[in-house]
Amino acid sequence: MTTADLAPQRTRWRALAIIQALRPHQWVKNLLVFVPVVLDHKLFNAAVMTKAAMAFVAFCCAASSAYILNDLLDLEADRRHPRKRLRPFASGAVSPAIGLALVPALLGIAGALSWSSLPVRFLELLTLYVVLTTAYSLYLKRVAVVDVLLLAGLYTLRVLAGVSAAHVRFSTWLLAFSMFLFLSLAFLKRYTEVSTMDGDPGEQVRRRGYLRGDREWLGSMGGASGYLSVLVFALYISSEQVVALYGRPLILWLACPLLLYWIGRMWLLAHRGRIHDDPIVATVRDPMSYVAGALLALVLYMAL
């Protein structure tokens, strides 16, 4: 095979590596912008769904810019990590110069789409997301407890952005439920990261604010946060606000054991060392999570 024949193949490999650097598998987290649309029963409203879809695309672009920036800042640490060393920038498949060019380009696309098609409030929330993710990448990821609170806040911010983009009804119950549930997932993310590190319990995890021996504490805090989210949901079922959306709210009690099962299962998988990625991405790859999600959707439908 000649050099001329290899050139197109190298171009394809580089293009695939750039796509990988965007982390498209992480875009599943941005589906959270559709959660308030679904809960407000506007899933089949074309205008509302169009706005939510635009919000999704804007968040995907903004998130990918944050992932690239994070990878560039963590370049040396990733090269020492057993899995992260295979990332495009750490492995050398994509040069840092390309990453530095992609960050403002992706932010420009996200900003232009938001400015032209979505409410100002959404653009403000997207800007806040970019500021917080940048602060996280530069420093806050190294501050214990603050980092998980910020991760949970970024998940919740996507839900609030969905409310702003699609002009759907907002409930403080949804905010409270989201905060505790996403805090559990943030602790789960740190738990898996700490669990993969070998060494003495008193050893500092590189570029994190935790010691190797903090694994059990992270697990207890994360489990408690997850079960508190179910308590918030149970209190919501008992509130007067639930009757505005559901004709048979008592059926919603069936959702509680499903949520308890899913939260317990995710933590069990993490304890067994079977979660190696972001918890929401791990959920997408878990067949039983689909079963629990389908049953939860059925419960919500039956409660209408």
pLDDT the model gives residue 165: 93
Token reading at 104: 């403002």
User: Among 293, 181, 183, 184, which Cα is nearest to 229's?
Assistant: 181
pLDDT the model gives residue 86: 74
pLDDT the model gives residue 141: 87
Q: What predicted TM-score, i.e. pTM, was given to this entire model?
A: 0.86
Helix/strand/coil (H, E, C) string of 21-58? HCCHHHHHHHHHHHHHHHHCCCCCCHHHHHHHHHHHHH
Helix/strand/coil (H, E, C) string of 234-258? HHHHCCCHHHHCCCCHHHHHHHHHH
Distances (CA, A) of 291 to 83, 252, 286: 29, 17, 9
pLDDT the model gives residue 203: 66
pLDDT tens across the length of the chain (304 residues): 455 555 566 777 878 888 888 888 889 889 999 999 998 889 889 999 999 999 999 999 999 999 998 888 887 777 776 677 778 888 878 888 888 999 999 999 999 999 998 999 999 999 999 999 999 988 888 899 999 999 999 999 999 999 999 988 888 898 899 999 999 999 999 998 888 776 666 667 666 778 888 889 999 999 999 999 999 999 999 888 888 888 899 999 999 999 999 999 999 999 988 887 678 778 888 999 999 999 999 999 999 8
Beta partners for residue 204, in sequence order: 211
pLDDT the model gives residue 73: 84
Integer Cα distance of 18 and 102 in angstroms? 9
Distances (CA, A) of 77 to 59, 65, 259: 26, 19, 36
pLDDT the model gives residue 128: 96
Task: Give me the helices (H) in the chain, please.
Answer: 3-21, 35-39, 46-73, 75-79, 88-91, 96-117, 120-138, 146-166, 172-195, 215-237, 255-271, 279-284, 287-303
